[in-house]
Amino acid sequence: MTTTRFQSAAEPEQASGAPKLHIVTFGCQMNKYDSLLVEGKFKGQGYATTDVMADADVILFNTCSVRDHAEERTFSWLGELKHAKQAKPELVIGVMGCMAQRVGEEIFSRAGHVDIVAGTRKFQHMTALVDEVRERRADPETWRARDQRLTATGIEEDVEFERGAMNYTGGQHAYLAVMRGCDLNCTYCIVPTTRGRVRSKPIDEIVAEAQWMVSQGAKVITLLGQTVNSYGEDFPKPEDGGATGSGRQGRPSLGDVLRRLQTIDGLERIRMITMHPAYLTQDLAEAVRDCSKVDRFLPIPAQAGSDDVLRAMKRGYTTDLYRKRLAMLREIVPDVELGSDWIVGFPGETDADFEATLAFAEEVGFVVNYVFKYDPRPTTHAADELSDDVPTAVKKDRNKRLLKKAEEIATLRLGRYVGQTVDVFVEERSDKNPEILHGRSVHGLPVSFAGDERLIGTTIPVAIQQASAYGMHGVVAAANA
C-alpha cells in the first residue's frame, strides 16, 4: 500500500479554508499515476491535499484486483471508515481503479458508506462526481444515502485529462501512461477485464505531456502501460489514414516514442513498465541502444520457465521463443539487464515444471524478480476451467525457493559491477543516513554512495566497491577517471 505524498516543491501553500483531499493508492504504477492525475485535477479546482485521513473532506481509494488479498485490504480500509462517516456525514468517500471496475455497485453492499464508484476509464470525472454527490445531498429529493450514490464504470471511453485544468504533482519522478488496457488474455489475469482494450496515446500528446512534466521539474519519466511495448498496435494503419512510424505495418511504435523523448532538454532518464515478450521487436531494441536517456533495464516478465505451464497460461510464447527474442535484444544492447514476474503454483504445475522455472530464471539471469503465488481470480479462464490443484504449502515452498534463487542470481549479476565505474542518476538522500545518497545506474540498479545532496538530480560516475542482491555501494569517481 502506498498513500500519495508526492508534491511539487514549487507548489504554493493552499488557503487554509480549502477543502482537503486524501488518496490511498494500492496496486501498480498505473494506479499511482492515475492518483496523481486525480490529485492534480482536484488541486486545479482549489483543493488542498492532506496526509491525515481524519482531516480530509474527500477520501479516495485507488484500488487493485490482481490478487484477492489486494481487494480484501481495500475492504478492510473501507470498513474502518464507517465510523468516520457517521461522525462526519459531509465526508465524501470514492473508490476508483481496478476493483471499482471489477466489483462495481456491489461495493455499496459491502461498504454502504461509500458514495462513488468510478472505474478505470471514468475516474477522470471524479471531481464532477464529488460535486454531484454534494448537490444531491443538498437536494431534498435525493437526501437519502442511497440516492446519493454514484457509479461510473463504462469502459469504452478513453481517459483524457485537460492539462490546463491541472496542477502537476509528480515532483522529480513522473509517470506517464503511453497506453492503457491489454488485448492479451493470459488465463490467470483479471487485468484485461479491469482495464479494457488497448488504447495508445498519440505520440504528439505523449511528447507534450512529457514536456509539461519536465517544465514542472520532472527529470525521470517512467512510461507506463499494461503491455507498454504493444504501444501503437491499436492505431489505424497508415494506408487507412493513421500516422506513420517505425512500428509493425508502418505504425508509430514505442521506439518512436523513445526517440522523440530523448530530444527533450532537461529530461534525464526514461524508464518503462511493463513489457510482454511477444511484442519485443528489433525496432524497440535499436531505440534502447540509440537513446542514451533510456535505462538499460527492461522488465519482460517470463511468468514461468516450463512450456507446458506457459501454454496453460496462454502467454503466447515458448521458452525458446523467449530465448530468441532475448538473443536479438542482447545482440543489439549487450549490457541490458532484465526483470521478470513469476507465478508459482499455477494449476497443473509439477515439480519438474517448477525446476524448469528455476533453471530458466538462472539461464536468462534476471536481476530483478517478483514472485507471486497463483491466486484464482473470478471470471478468468484459469479460475473457471482449471483446478487450483497445487496445495498452499507447495505454493509457499516454491515461492521461497524461487526468491532464494532470484537472490543468488542478483548477487552474481550485481557482483559483476564491482571494480567498474558506472553512471548513476542521483535520486534522493538516504532516510537512515543523511550523508548517503541513493541513485540508479543506467542499468536501473540501485546504487548508494556518500555525497552532497546538491548532486540530486544529476548523473555522476560512481566506482562500485560492493554489491549485494539488492544494490551496489561505491564512491564518487573523478569525472575523467
How many Å apart are CA 108 and CA 111, to the nearest integer? Answer: 5
> How do the residues of the chain divide into helix, strand and coil, expressed in percent and rounded to 5?
40, 20, 40
Tell me if 276 contacts ligand SF4 by CB under 6 A. Answer: yes
**C-alpha count within 13 angstroms, C-beta hemisphere, residue 247:** 26
Tell me if 120 contacts ligand SAH by CB under 6 A. Answer: no
| Nearest-10 crossing angle of helices 29-44, 126-138 | 50
Residue 150 CA from chain centroid, whole number: 27
Tell me if 339 contacts ligand SAH by CB under 6 A. Answer: no
Q: What is the DSSP letter of 105?
A: T
Binding test (CB under 6 A) with ligand F3S, winner from 56, 66, 298, 402: 66
Q: Which of residues 6-35 bind ligand F3S (CB under 6 A)?
A: 27-28, 30-31
Q: How far apart, in Å, do the first and last CA atoms of the chain sit?
A: 42
Contact 142/148 with Cβ under 8 angstroms?
A: yes
Binding-site partner at residue 375 among ligand SF4, ligand SAH, ligand F3S, none, CB < 5 to 8 Å by type:
ligand SAH
Tell me if 321 contacts ligand SF4 by CB under 6 A. Answer: no
| Least distance CB 437 / ligand SAH (angstroms) | 30
Contact string 377-416 vs ligand SAH (x = CB under 6 A): x---------------------------------------
When the beta carbons of 276 and 296 are compared against ligand SF4, the nearer one is 276
| Least distance CB 121 / ligand SAH (angstroms) | 17
CB atoms within 10 A of CB 192: 17
Tell me if 272 contacts ligand SF4 by CB under 6 A. Answer: no
Tell me if 227 contacts ligand SF4 by CB under 6 A. Answer: yes
C-alpha cell, 263: 530530444
Residue that the C-alpha cell 471470471 belongs to: 379
Binding test (CB under 6 A) with ligand SAH, winner from 49, 194, 303, 357: 303
Q: Which helix (H) or strand (E) holds 383?
A: helix 381-385
When the beta carbons of 185 and 465 are compared against ligand F3S, the nearer one is 185
- b or e along 140-152 (b: 16 or more beta carbons within 10 Å of the residue's beta carbon)? eeeeeeeebbbbb
Binding-site partner at residue 229 among ligand SF4, ligand F3S, ligand SAH, none, CB < 5 to 8 Å by type:
none
Binding test (CB under 6 A) with ligand SAH, winner from 226, 253, 319, 459: 226
C-alpha cell, 395: 505454493
Binding-site partner at residue 377 among ligand SF4, ligand F3S, ligand SAH, none, CB < 5 to 8 Å by type:
ligand SAH
Which of 255, 266, 403 has the alpha carbon at shortest distance from 341? 403
The footprint of ligand F3S on this chain (CB under 6 A) covers a number of residues equal to 14
Three-class DSSP category at 431 = coil
Binding-site partner at residue 192 among ligand SF4, ligand SAH, ligand F3S, none, CB < 5 to 8 Å by type:
ligand SF4
CB-based contacts of 39, cutoff 8 Å, min separation 6: 4, 6, 21, 23, 49, 169
How many Å apart are CA 454 and CA 132, to the nearest integer? Answer: 46
| Least distance CB 372 / ligand SF4 (angstroms) | 11
Tell me if 200 contacts ligand SAH by CB under 6 A. Answer: no
Helices (H), 196-276: 203-215, 254-262
| Least distance CB 301 / ligand SAH (angstroms) | 4
Binding test (CB under 6 A) with ligand SAH, winner from 67, 113, 314, 323: 67
Tell me if 375 contacts ligand SAH by CB under 6 A. Answer: yes
Tell me if 372 contacts ligand SAH by CB under 6 A. Answer: yes
Contact 437/453 with Cβ under 8 angstroms?
A: yes
Binding-site partner at residue 245 among ligand F3S, ligand SF4, ligand SAH, none, CB < 5 to 8 Å by type:
none
| Least distance CB 226 / ligand F3S (angstroms) | 6
When the beta carbons of 98 and 261 are compared against ligand SF4, the nearer one is 98
| Nearest-10 crossing angle of helices 351-364, 319-332 | 10
Which of 387, 388, 326, 396 has the alpha carbon at shortest distance from 354? 396
Interacting span for ligand F3S (CB under 6 A) from 62-70, 203-211, 243-251, 385-393: 62-70
The footprint of ligand SAH on this chain (CB under 6 A) covers a number of residues equal to 17
Q: What is the DSSP letter of 230?
A: G
Which of 78, 93, 90, 81 has the alpha carbon at shortest distance from 149? 93
Contact string 173-192 vs ligand SF4 (x = CB under 6 A): ---------x-xxx--x-xx
CB-based contacts of 87, cutoff 8 Å, min separation 6: none
Residue that the C-alpha cell 483446478 belongs to: 387
| Least distance CB 71 / ligand F3S (angstroms) | 9
Binding-site partner at residue 31 among ligand F3S, ligand SAH, ligand SF4, none, CB < 5 to 8 Å by type:
ligand F3S
Helices (H), 92-198: 98-103, 106-110, 126-138, 191-195
Residues that bind ligand F3S (CB under 6 A): 27-28, 30-31, 64-66, 97-98, 190-191, 194-195, 226
Residues that bind ligand SF4 (CB under 6 A): 182, 184-186, 189, 191-192, 226-227, 276
Residues that bind ligand SAH (CB under 6 A): 66-67, 188-189, 191, 226-227, 274, 276, 301, 303, 341, 343, 372, 374-375, 377
